[in-house]
Amino acid sequence: MSLLSGIFGGRSLDALLRRARSCLAAGDFDDGLKVVEAGLARYPHAVVLRDTGHLIRRAQARAGMQALKDRVSQDSDPDAHAQLVALYRDVGMEAEMIRATERFAEEHPERDLPHLLRGEQLLEVFFADLRARDGRAAIDRLLRAGALQPDALKPRVMLAELYYAIGADKALLGQSSALHRLAGDDEVFAPILAAIDAVARTVPNESVDALLAKVEVAGALARDPSAWSGRKRRGIASETEGSRLEVGLAKLVAEGTAEEAVGIDRAGDVVGHAGKPPAAADGSDEETALAGVARAVARTVKVQARELELGAFRRCVVEGPFGVMVVADAAGGVVAARAGRGTDPHRLADRLTVAVDGIRGRRVS
1-108 is classed CATH 1.20.120: no
> What confidence score (pLDDT) does residue 7 get?
40
Q: Would you say the CATH fold of 239-361 matches that of 1-108?
A: no
Q: Is 1 buried (19+), middle (13-18) or exposed (0-12) by CB count in 10 A?
A: exposed
User: What's CA 43's distance to the chain center, in Å?
Assistant: 15
* pLDDT tens, residue order, the chain (365 aa): 344 444 444 568 888 888 888 888 888 888 888 998 888 888 877 778 888 888 888 787 776 788 888 888 888 889 999 999 988 887 778 888 999 999 999 999 999 999 999 999 999 888 877 889 999 999 999 999 999 999 999 999 999 999 999 999 999 998 988 898 888 877 878 888 888 888 888 888 899 999 999 988 887 788 888 777 766 444 454 544 556 778 888 888 988 889 999 988 776 788 888 887 765 444 444 445 788 888 887 777 666 655 555 556 777 888 888 789 998 877 667 889 999 888 888 888 888 877 776 544 444 33
> What confidence score (pLDDT) does residue 311 get?
56
Beta strands 333-339 and 260-265, pairing class: antiparallel
Alpha carbons within 13 angstroms on the beta-carbon side of residue 148 total: 18
> What confidence score (pLDDT) does residue 118 get?
96
Distance CA 236, CA 47 (A): 14
Beta sheet of 315-320, edge-to-edge order: 270-275, 260-265, 333-339, 323-330, 315-320
> What confidence score (pLDDT) does residue 42 get?
85
Residue 130 gets the label, from left (phi > 0), alpha (psi -120 to 50) or beta, of: left
> What confidence score (pLDDT) does residue 361 get?
42
CB 153 within 8 A of CB 179: yes
Give residue limits of the domains in the chain: 1-108, 239-361
> What confidence score (pLDDT) does residue 276 get?
78
Helix (H, G, I), strand (E, B) or coil at 288: coil
> What confidence score (pLDDT) does residue 359 get?
45
What's the topology of domain 239-361? Beta-Lactamase (3.30.450)
